[in-house]
Amino acid sequence: MTNKRPSRLRFNFGFFLESTLGTSRTIELSYPTIQVEDLTLSPLAGTFTATRTSEGVYVSGTLNSTVVSECVRCLEEAIVPIQLQLDDLFYYPPHTAPEGEYTIGEDGFIDLAPLVRELTVLETPIQPICRPDCQGLCMECGKNLNEGDCGCEPNPIDPRLSALQQLLNSKDN
Ligand SMILES: [Zn+2]
Ligand SMILES: [Zn+2]
């Protein structure tokens, strides 16, 4: 990745690694806008708790954000709220981590950016809608029906339904 700006989701847990097992600390995040690798999240807010375990630092919490996408019904902008559930162990020292697991750097820093990015991608809806009752576009004239009725007559028979009807009729015979 060419974009190598330092992550703003790095936290120093160096002191924490010296503390006794079970020590925990809650951290509150509140960014109006934050760049997380290649994604821009506006906002990113919530709290997480970091707990010192024998294997590293366990991070759990809930962050809230939104993703901006295109509504699949009306093609207007859809701003979809998402919730990111943090529930991950960051291994320390880093070489003890199983393949693919998150680690704490040798410098004692945890970078939440890769995890937050991964969760954001997972939570982004495949078929975003701008609002639950979006009326979509008219199949006939293409007008955005959220802005009002276009006056087109609704198509009386959906071709898929008529095919189904034929199938049902043939079953009866
Ligand atoms: Zn819509
Ligand atoms: Zn229409």
Q: Which of 68, 103, 70 is nearest to 82 (CA)?
A: 68
6 alpha carbon – ligand 1 mean position (Å): 36
Q: Residue 100: is its pLDDT beyond 70?
A: yes
- Domain co-membership, 115 together with 148: no
- Domain co-membership, 73 together with 124: yes
Altogether, the residues listed in the chain come to a count of 173
The total of structural domains in the chain comes to 2
> Do β-strands 56-70 and 44-53 pair in parallel, antiparallel, or remain unpaired?
antiparallel
- Domain co-membership, 17 together with 78: yes
80 alpha carbon – ligand 2 mean position (Å): 27
Residues 118-160: tens digit of each pLDDT: 999 999 999 999 999 999 999 999 999 999 999 998 666 666 6
Q: Residue 34: is its pLDDT beyond 90?
A: yes
Residues with CB under 5 A from ligand 2 (ion): 138, 140-141, 143, 150, 152
The DSSP call for residue 114 is H
User: Which ligand has its closest atom nearest to the C-alpha of 152?
Assistant: 2
Q: Residue 44: is its pLDDT beyond 90?
A: yes
Asked whether residue 1 is assigned to any structural domain, the reply reads no
The tokens of 101 are what? 């697991």
Asked whether residue 114 is assigned to any structural domain, the reply reads yes
User: Which ligand has its closest atom nearest to the C-alpha of 69?
Assistant: 1
- Domain co-membership, 130 together with 155: no
What pLDDT, on the 0 to 100 scale, is given for residue 6? 78
Q: Does residue 76 sit in helix, strand or coil? A: coil
- Domain co-membership, 64 together with 85: yes
Asked whether residue 3 is assigned to any structural domain, the reply reads no
pLDDT over 90, % of the chain: 77
70 alpha carbon – ligand 1 mean position (Å): 8
Task: Let me know: does 64 contact 83? Beta carbons within 8 Å.
Answer: yes
144 alpha carbon – ligand 1 mean position (Å): 8
85 alpha carbon – ligand 1 mean position (Å): 27
pLDDT over 70, % of the chain: 86
Confidence band of 1 (pLDDT split at 50, 70, 90): very low
* Max CA separation in the chain (angstroms): 79
What is the average pLDDT across 23-30?
Answer: 96
- Domain co-membership, 94 together with 168: no
Give me Rg for the CA atoms of the chain.
24
User: Whole domain around residue 169: which residue ranges?
Assistant: 138-173
**105: exposed, middle or buried (Cβ count in 10 Å: 0-12, 13-18, 19+):** middle
Rounded Cα–Cα distance for residues 77 and 144 (Å):
13
User: Which ligand has its closest atom nearest to the C-alpha of 155?
Assistant: 2
Preceding amide of 93 cis, omega within 30: yes
Q: Residue 12: is its pLDDT beyond 70?
A: yes
133 alpha carbon – ligand 2 mean position (Å): 18
157 alpha carbon – ligand 1 mean position (Å): 24
